[in-house]
């Protein structure tokens, strides 16, 4: 059973529908005990870094997420859910993230006529052909919606990158923690395969 962590993000239902479409048992909750008892957890993300951390703190979800990650059970962050794993973001300089990993979250430059936010399909350069990307083509196209991007301090955790004016660390993986800057639930068959890989990791 996978807990989809609810802090009011707009794309929670689409994640839930995608997981159920691939035959995965999932439920939406913000209850601490339900989250910690789940076999796996997903932290979706739509919104600003600071507002989301404020909401997570007000619901007591921040500590619950950290406790879940420390339990070593599989965890997946999506879009803002990836950025929140880091200490802070240029978007909300005074807000403190979860601090699970080290790196910078910076705004994508609008130089060279690039449209911000970055919305649409981009190809990935996969760095790790296991975990989330097991059985995935080397340069799949996936769907992005974001204005800020990760530059991870430890490149060993980066499982995929993309380019949009800059090199973006588009997915990370270390031990039981996985995260994607793109939206697998909106990335067609490739995204469903990525979610299926996560569900298989949860099943062990």
Helix axes 12-21, 188-203, angle to 10 degrees: 80
CA distance 21 to 195: 10
- Cβ neighbors of 57 (< 8 A, separation 6 or more) are none
Residue 41 φ/ψ, nearest 5 degrees: -140, 145
Catalytic residues: 79, 183, 185
105/14 Cα distance (integer angstroms): 25
């Amino acid at each position: 059973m996978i807990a989809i962590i609810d802090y009011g993000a707009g794309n929670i239902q689409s994640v839930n529908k995608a997981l159920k479409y691939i035959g995965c048992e999932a439920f939406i909750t913000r209850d601490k005990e339900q989250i910690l008892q789940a076999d796996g957890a997903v932290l979706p993300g739509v919104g600003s870094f600071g507002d989301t951390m404020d909401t997570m703190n007000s619901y007591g979800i921040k500590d619950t997420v950290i406790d879940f990650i420390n339990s070593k059970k599989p965890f997946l962050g999506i879009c803002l859910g990836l950025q929140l794993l880091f200490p802070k973001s240029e978007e909300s300089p005074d807000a403190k993230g979860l601090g699970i990993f080290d790196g910078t979250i910076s705004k994508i430059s609008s130089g060279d006529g690039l449209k911000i936010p970055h919305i649409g399909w981009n190809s990935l350069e996969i760095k790790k052909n296991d975990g989330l990307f097991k059985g995935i083509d080397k340069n799949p196209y996936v769907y992005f919606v974001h204005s800020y991007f990760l530059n991870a301090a430890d490149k060993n955790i980066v499982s995929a990158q993309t380019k949009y004016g800059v090199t973006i660390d588009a997915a990370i993986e270390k031990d039981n923690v996985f995260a994607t800057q793109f939206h697998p639930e909106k990335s067609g068959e490739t995204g469903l395969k990525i979610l299926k890989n996560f569900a298989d990791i949860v099943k062990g």
